[in-house]
Amino acid sequence: MLEIIATTVEDAKRIESAGAGRIELIRDLSQGGLTPEHGLIKEVVENVKIPVNVMIRPHANSFVYTSAELKAMQEDILKARQLKANGVVFGVLDETNAICEKSLVKLLEACDGLAVTFHRAIDEIADPVKGIKVLAKYPQITTVLTSGGQGNILDNLATIKDMMEHAGQIQVLVGGGLTFENIERIVAETGAPEFHFGTAIRDNSAAFGEINEKKLTALVKLMNRIGS
C-alpha cells in the first residue's frame, strides 16, 4: 500500500491517476498537516475512487488537546464520516508525552465505521514500541504512521520492526523521511506493508511544491517492482 498526502482536489486526482493506493487529505503540509475544510473533503471524496483518510488535527502547537478541542475533533470526525471518507488520522498525547488514553477513547467514540490511523505523534514518545502496545488494545485502530521515533528513519529500522511485532491488528504505515534513495533499503529491512510519502514527490521536495506527476509515477513503478 502506497499512501500519498494530498492538499487539493488536483493533488488527489494526480495521486489516483499515478496508481497510488490511498490518500491522506490534509491542509497546511508545512505545519505537518491540519484538518482540511469540509468542502475540500467533500470534493476530494467525490472526485476519486481510492480511499481518502482525513487528518483530524486542529492546531500544530502540540498533540495535547483541551476538552473543547477534543469536542471539535469529534465533530470533524463525524463530518468526515458523513462525507464518506474512508478513515481519519489523529494522535493524542498527555503532558508527559505518553498516549492519552482518555482522549483517545473520546475520539474513538466518533469513529464507528471508519478506519483509524494514529499518526506520528507516536514518534514523540520515548518508547514507540510501548506506545504501539497501548494502541493495540483498541480494535478500532487500524493503522499507525511512524518513522520509528525521532531522528533519521534509517537509524530507526530495528525499532520499526519491533513495533510491527507488537502491533496486533494494526498495520504499520512507515513514513517520515522516506526518499527515492532510501525506500528500497527500508522495505527490505522492515518488511512493512504500507508506506507514506509527502514532500518527496513534490516539486523541489518542498511542502509548497506541486505534486510532480513524473516523480509520483516513478515512485509507484518503483514500489511495484520492489513488491513483486
Q: What are the structural domains of the chain?
A: 2-227 (3.20.20.380)
pLDDT number for residue 51: 98
Q: How far apart are CA 116 and CA 69, in angstroms?
A: 18
pLDDT along the chain (228 residues), means of 10: 97 97 96 96 98 98 97 98 98 96 98 97 96 97 97 97 97 96 95 95 93 95 88
pLDDT of 103: 98
Residue 205: all three cell numbers together: 521536495
Residue 227 pLDDT: 78
Distance CA 200, CA 194 (A): 16
> pTM (2 decimals)?
0.96
Nearest in space to 103 (alpha carbons), one of 56, 136, 145, 70:
70
Angle at which helix 183-190 crosses helix 213-227, to 10 degrees, equals 30
